[in-house]
Structure 1
Amino acid sequence: MNRKTTVVLALFLSCLVHAQWKPQGDKIKTKWASQVDPAKTLPEYPRPIMERSQWKNLNGLWNYAIQEFGKTAPSKYDGQILVPFAAESSLSGVMKEVGAKNELWYETNFSIESNWNGKNILLHFGAVDWKTEVYINNIKIGSHTGGYTPFSFDITPFIQKGKNQKLVVKVWDPSNDGPQPRGKQVKNPEGIWYTPVTGIWQTVWIEPVNAKSISTLKTIPNLDQNTISIKADVAGATTGDLVEIAVFDEGKEIAKAKAVVGESNDIVLNNPKLWSPESPFLYQTKIRLISNNKVVDEVKSYFAMRKIASKRDENGIVRMQLNNKDYFQFGPLDQGWWPDGLYTAPTDEALKYDIIKTKELGFNMIRKHVKVEPERWYTHCDQLGILVWQDMPSGDEQPLWQNRKYFEGTELQRTAKSEEIYRKEWREIMDHLYSYPSIVVWVPFNEAWGQFKTVEITEWTKNHDPSRLTNSSSGGNHFQTGDILDLHNYPGPEMYLYDARRVTVLGEYGGIGLPLEGHLWRANDNWGYIKFKNENEVTAEYIKYAKILKNYVKTGFSAAVYTQTTDVEGEVNGFMTYDRKVDKMDFKAVNKINTEVIDALNHK
Structure 2
Amino acid sequence: MIKRSIILSCLLSMAASYSSAQDWKPAGDKILTEWASKVDPKQPHPEYPRPQLTRTNNWQNLNGLWKYAVTERSVSQLPSNWDGDILVPFAIESALSGVGKSLSKDQVLWYQTDIVLSKKLKNEKTILHFGAVDWQCEVFVNGQSVGQHEGGFDAFSFDITAALKKGAKQQIALRVWDPTSDGPQPRGKQINNPHSIWYTPVSGIWQTVWLESVPKTFIKSTHQTPNVDDSSLAFHAEVENAQNGDLIQITAFDNGKKIAESSNAATETQQLKLQNISLWSPTNPKLYDIEVKLMRKGKVVDQAKSYFAMRKISKKADKKGIERMYLNDEFLFHYGPLDQGWWPDGLHTSPTDDALKFDIEKTKEMGFNMIRKHIKVEPARWYRHCDSIGILVWQDMPSGDLGGNIWDMHPGKFRAGKQDKDRSPASEAIYKKEWNSIMTQLHNFPSIVVWVPFNEAWGQFKTKEIVEWTKQKDPSRLVNGASGGNYQAPGDILDLHNYPEPAMPDPARFGKDFILANGEFGGLGLPVEGHTWQAKDNWGYQSFKSVDELKKRYRELITDLVKLTQWGLSAAVYTQTTDVEVETNGLMTYDRKVIKIPVSELKQINDQLYNPNLIN
TM-score interval, normalised by the smaller of the two chains = over 0.9
Which amino acid in the other structure matches residue 259 of structure 2? I
CA distance in 2, matches of 1:369, 1:511: 14
Deviates more, 1:12-21 or 1:335-344: 12-21
Q: Distance in 2 between matches of 1:132 and 1:63?
A: 16
What secondary structure does 1:553 align onto?
Answer: helix
Pair 1:159-2:164 in alignment: yes
CA distance in 2 between partners of 1:513 and 1:74 (Å)? 46
| 2:517 aligned partner, one-letter code | V
Q: 1:358 to 1:117 in 2, by over 3 A?
A: closer
RMSD across aligned positions (CA): 1.8
Q: Which of 519, 525, 535 lines up with 1:513 in the alignment?
A: 525
Equivalent-residue separation in structure 2 for 1:539 and 1:182 (angstroms): 34
Shift of 1:564: 0.2
Q: Is the 8 Å Cα contact of residues 405 and 460 (structure 2) preserved in structure 1? A: no
Distance 1:300 1:442, change over 3 A: same
Amino acid corresponding to residue 37 of structure 1 in structure 2: D
Q: CA shift at 1:534, angstroms?
A: 1.4
More displaced stretch, 429-438 vs 520-529: 520-529
AA aligned to 1:164 is: K
- Correspondence for 1:70: 74
Matched residue pairs, number?
596
What whole-Å deviation, never above 9, does each CA across 1:495-526 have from its counterpart, x for those lacking one?
24441211010000000000111001012221
1:488 to 487, 492, 497: 497
Partner of 1:136: 141
Instruction: Give 1:351's aligned residue.
Output: 356
Contact preservation (8 Å) 2:482, 2:490? no
Q: What one-letter code is carried by the residue in structure 1 that aligns with 2:127?
A: L
Q: CA deviation at 1:109?
A: 1.3
Q: CA deviation at 1:20?
A: 2.5
Shift in alpha-carbon separation, 1:74–1:222, aligned structure 2, 3 A: same
AA of the residue aligned to 1:80: D
Query: CA–CA distance in 2 between the matches of 1:399 and 1:151?
Result: 32
Structure 2: how far apart are the matches of 1:113 and 1:261?
30
CA distance in 1, matches of 2:347, 2:23: 21
Structure 1 pair 77–10 and aligned structure 2 pair: CA distance change class (3 A): closer
| Shift, 1:592, TM fit | 1.0
Residue in structure 2 matched with residue 148 of structure 1 by the alignment: 153
Task: Please say if residues 328 and 601 of structure 1, whose CA atoms lie closer than 8 Å, have aligned partners that are also in contact.
Answer: no
Question: Given that residues 550 and 600 in structure 1 are in contact (C-alpha distance below 8 angstroms), is that contact kept between their aligned partners in structure 2?
Answer: no
Measured against aligned partners, the alpha-carbon deviations of 1:180-213 in whole angstroms (never above 9, x if no partner) come to 0000000100010000000000000001100010
Residues 1:568 and 2:554 are matched in the alignment: no
Q: Which amino acid aligns with 1:572?
A: T
Mapping of 1:262-301 within 5 angstroms? 262-301=267-306
For residues 193-236 of structure 1, the C-alpha deviation after alignment (integer angstroms, 9 at most, x for no partner) is 00000000000000110001000110000000111111111001
Percent sequence identity over matched residues?
Answer: 54
Please tell me whether the aligned partners of residues 578 and 585 of structure 2 are also in contact (alpha carbons under 8 angstroms).
yes
Q: How does 1:189-200 map to 2 (within 5 A)?
A: 189-200=194-205
Q: What is the CA distance between 1:306 and its match in structure 2?
A: 0.1
Inter-partner Cα distance in structure 1 for 2:406 and 2:575 = 16
2:49 is aligned, of 43, 46, 49, to: 46
CA drift of 1:399 comes to: 6.2
* Partner Cα distance (2:66, 2:155) in 1: 20
Of 58, 62, 80, 2:62 maps to 58
Deviation track 1:530-550 (CA, whole Å, cap 9, x = no partner) reads 000111111111110000000
Distance in 2 between the 1:572 and 1:30 partners? Answer: 16
Whole-Å Cα distance in 1 between the matches of residues 52 and 481 of structure 2? Answer: 28
SS in 2 for 1:217: strand
- Matched-pair contact (CA < 8 Å) for 1:536–1:586: no
Question: Aligned AA for 2:443?
Answer: Y
Q: 1:52 & 1:117 partners in 2: Cα distance?
A: 13
In the alignment, structure 1 residue 413 sits paired with structure 2 residue 422: yes
The one-letter code matched in structure 2 to 1:112 is L
Q: TM-score, normalised by structure 2?
A: 0.94
Q: CA–CA distance in 1 between the matches of 2:156 and 2:17?
A: 30
Cα 1:507/1:374, change in 2 over 3 Å: same
> Relative to structure 2, which stretch is displaced further, 408-417 or 181-190?
408-417
Counterpart in 1 of 2:40? 37
Mark the CA change 1:589 to 1:399 in structure 2 (over 3 Å): closer, same or farther: farther
Other-structure match for 1:442: 451
Match for residue 503 of structure 1?
515
State the AA in 1 paired with 2:63: N
C-alpha deviation, 1:292, in angstroms: 2.5
Q: CA 1:383–1:488 in 2, change beyond 3 Å: closer, same or farther?
A: same
- 2:7 aligns with none
Following TM superposition, by how much is the alpha carbon of 1:603 offset from its aligned partner in structure 2, in angstroms?
Answer: 8.4
* 2:128 matched residue in structure 1: 123
Distance 1:172 1:480, change over 3 A: closer
Check 1:348–1:416 CA distance in 2 against 1; reply closer, same or farther (3 A cut). same
- Structure 2 contact 405–459 (Cα < 8 Å) conserved: no
Shift of 1:321: 0.5
SS in 2 for 1:238: coil
Bigger CA drift: 462-471 or 394-403? Answer: 394-403
Matches of 1:198 and 1:229 in 2, distance apart?
38
- In structure 2, the CA distance between the partners of 1:368 and 1:401, relative to structure 1 (3 Å rule), is farther
Picking from 533, 540, 545, the partner of 1:533 is 545
Give, in whole Å, the separation in 2 of the partners of 1:580 and 1:151.
31
Shift of the alpha carbon at 1:398?
A: 3.4
**Is 1:424 aligned to 2:436, yes or no?**
no
Structure 1 CA distance for aligned equivalents of residues 366 and 348 of structure 2: 23
Cα deviation, 1:121-163, whole Å, max 9, x if unaligned, reads 0000000000010001111110000000000011111110114
The alpha-carbon distance between structure 1 residues 476 and 118, as it changes in their structure 2 partners (threshold 3 A), is closer
Residue 559 of structure 1 aligns with which residue?
571
2:486 to 477, 484, 494: 477
Contact 1:59 1:84 in 2 (8 A): yes
Consecutive unaligned residues in structure 1, runs of 5 or more: 1-8
Unaligned runs of 5+ in 2: 1-11
1:382 match: secondary structure: helix
Distance between the aligned counterparts of 2:601 and 2:95, measured in 1? Answer: 35
Q: Distance in 1 between matches of 2:356 and 2:439?
A: 21
Contact 2:123 2:214 in 1 (8 A): no
Aligned to 1:335: 340
Paired residue for 1:6?
none
The one-letter code sitting in structure 2 at the alignment partner of 1:180 is: Q
Cα deviation, residue 556, structure 1: 0.8
Would the alpha carbon gap of residues 314 and 297 (structure 1) be closer, same or farther in structure 2, given more than 3 Å must change? same
TM-score between the two structures when normalised by the length of structure 1 = 0.96
Match of 2:191 in 1: 186
Mapped contact 1:245–1:265 kept (Cα < 8 A) = no
> How many angstroms does 1:268 deviate by?
1.1
